[in-house]
Amino acid sequence: MAVLRAFLALGVCLLLGDQTLAKNDAPCQLSKWNNGYNTFVKRHIRSGTPTSLDQNEWEKYIRNNGGCDRPTQSFLKQKDLDMVKDVCTDKGGKTFKENLCISKQSFTFVTVRSEPGTCGIRSVREETKHLILACEVLENQCLPVHFEGNPENLKPGNNAKSCQDPKAKGHAPSFKMTWLPLLSVLLVIIHGY
């Protein structure tokens, strides 16, 4: 009987653990990664990026500032930071899917593609597209934590809901795990089966 209870208790722990590792299924929910916004800014809104599309300048920049391990990198303009943050609000973004928002307006940015494992640059291209960003709540504010590619140049749907702060009406956090399996296990433990 003790072995069964221990096994069931372990099952409850695993179910609860699965909930904490679940990916947010809607924008503007509490982040499970406290440094997500800072990492986003460090990767995509850097200071001192080259102003030209010259591959040699970009290779030198990436070698000196890190990022040789990333085969595709996109760099937004620092002057656009506030508008980029607005993508995670009803002011500038619409819900795309899962925890992703898509910008209501297009942004111009530079995409650099390099050879994996090296800093050898394959291409440097200026693009103008709608941004797709993962948006999560950090320090009571919904902020971008990930830049998702938009190779098909998708635009926000006319009927898509606006991205918004989780405190807004009708936008409560949700989890992919249902509570029914957890409740069943708890009942078994309580009744001693």
Per-residue pLDDT of the chain (193 residues; tens, 9 = 90+): 454 444 334 343 333 444 444 568 899 999 988 899 999 999 999 999 999 999 999 999 999 998 889 999 999 999 999 999 999 999 999 999 999 999 999 999 999 999 977 889 999 999 999 999 999 999 899 999 999 999 999 999 999 999 985 554 434 444 444 444 443 443 344 455 4
Q: What DSSP state is assigned to residue 28?
A: S
- Residues 93 and 81 both lie in one domain: yes
**How many structural domains compose the chain?**
2
Find out whether 111 and 166 touch, Cβ atoms under 8 Å.
no
Residue 60, φ and ψ in degrees, nearest 5: -60, -45
* Exposed / middle / buried, residue 102 (Cβ in 10 Å: 0-12, 13-18, 19+): buried
| pLDDT for position 166 | 53
pLDDT of the residue at 180: 41
Collapsed DSSP state (helix, strand, coil) of residue 173: coil
Shared domain for 105 and 63, answered yes or no, is yes
Q: How far is CA 167 from CA 33, 83, 90, in A?
A: 20, 21, 12
CATH number at residue 81: 3.10.130.10
How far apart CA 114 and CA 110 sit, in angstroms, is 13
Q: Does one domain contain both 113 and 165?
A: yes
The CA-to-CA distance between both ends of the chain, in Å, stands at 8
Look at residues 93, 57, 99, 88 and name the one whose alpha carbon lies nearest to residue 75. 57
CB 102 within 8 A of CB 134: no
Claim to verify: residue 56 and residue 151 sit in the same structural domain = yes
Three-state SS sequence of 126-161: EEEEEEEEEEEEECCEEEEEEEECCCCCCCCCCCCC
Q: Which domain holds residue 9?
A: 1-22+176-193
Q: Do 122 and 30 lie in a common domain? A: yes
